[in-house]
Chain A
């Protein structure tokens, strides 16, 4: 699986957009990009995933560059409750290993009032 690189921490003002970058320069054609987050003392929570096209759901937007070597998770109006560690993961879901998740260090997002 492709390795991902994320900044260890970011701050964001409440009500502003939080833009979390992820580099995955070795991504292959079958690999999806997906994002989880983990709020303190809770289990990880799925946010969004994508392959090539930008995606949006009720939680966030995912912008994937045309070469697919990087992506950005956007929380359009960050709230204090969005303070969490955000994990960017790249997996090929067409093989058996796609059932598993392995998280790296992630980005610790601190939303400040």
Chain B
């Protein structure tokens, strides 16, 4: 089974802190994604990466950056956390180009105080 793991299930940070969310997949997938999920807004794409060191902005990249130094790891960085970044963050991976489905991690619920 494909496994996508995220470094924390729950995280509490203070406004202005730098926050790192880590995601690791063990199936040699090329594509990796970071989403945030908020009530009433569904799932929104922040950034995605289609290969090592490659990244593309999604729908809501402001306030975030990403890093993909190794194929299995995709990090989401909040340079200076703000309260409006309190959300559920979901990482996903996909084996391009043949497969359609994305495999999701369990999510990190981030609270910024």
| Known pairs A32-B100, A99-B50; A43 contacts B106 (CB<8 A) | yes
| Known pairs A49-B100, A105-B40; A43 contacts B105 (CB<8 A) | yes
- With an 8 A cutoff between CB atoms, is A95 at the interface? no
Please tell me which one of the listed residues A101, A105, A106 contacts residue B102 in the complex, with CB atoms under 8 A apart.
A101
Interface size on B (CB < 8 Å)? Answer: 27
Tell me which residues across on chain B come within 8 A of A21, comparing CB atoms: none
Tell me which residues across on chain B come within 8 A of A49, comparing CB atoms: 100-101
A contacts with B: majority SS: loop
Q: Does A34 lie within 8 Å of B100, measured CB to CB?
A: yes
The number of residue pairs between A and B whose CB atoms lie closer than 8 Å in the complex comes to 60
Please tell me which stretch of B11-19, B64-72, B79-87, B89-97 contacts chain A, meaning at least 4 of its Cβ atoms lie within 8 angstroms of it. B89-97
Q: How far is the CB of B103 from chain A (nearest CB, A)?
A: 7
Q: Does B100 lie within 8 Å of A100, measured CB to CB?
A: no
Tell me which residues across on chain B come within 8 A of A101, comparing CB atoms: 33, 35, 43, 45, 92, 102
Additional A-B contacts beyond A44-B102, A93-B100 (11; CB < 8 A) = A34-B101, A43-B91, A43-B92, A43-B104, A45-B104, A49-B101, A99-B33, A99-B96, A101-B35, A103-B37, A103-B42
State in angstroms the CA–CA spacing of A40 and B36 once bound together. Answer: 15
Measured CB to CB, the nearest residue on chain A to B94 is A99
Q: Does A44 lie within 8 Å of B104, measured CB to CB?
A: yes
- Can you show 18 pairs from A to B with CB atoms below 8 A apart? A34-B100, A34-B101, A41-B106, A42-B106, A43-B90, A43-B92, A44-B90, A46-B100, A46-B103, A87-B42, A87-B43, A99-B31, A99-B94, A99-B96, A100-B58, A101-B92, A104-B42, A105-B42
Q: Does B100 lie within 8 Å of A99, measured CB to CB?
A: no
- Chain B positions within 8 Å of A, measured between CB atoms, are 4, 31, 33, 35, 37, 40, 42-45, 48, 50, 58-59, 90-92, 94, 96, 100-107
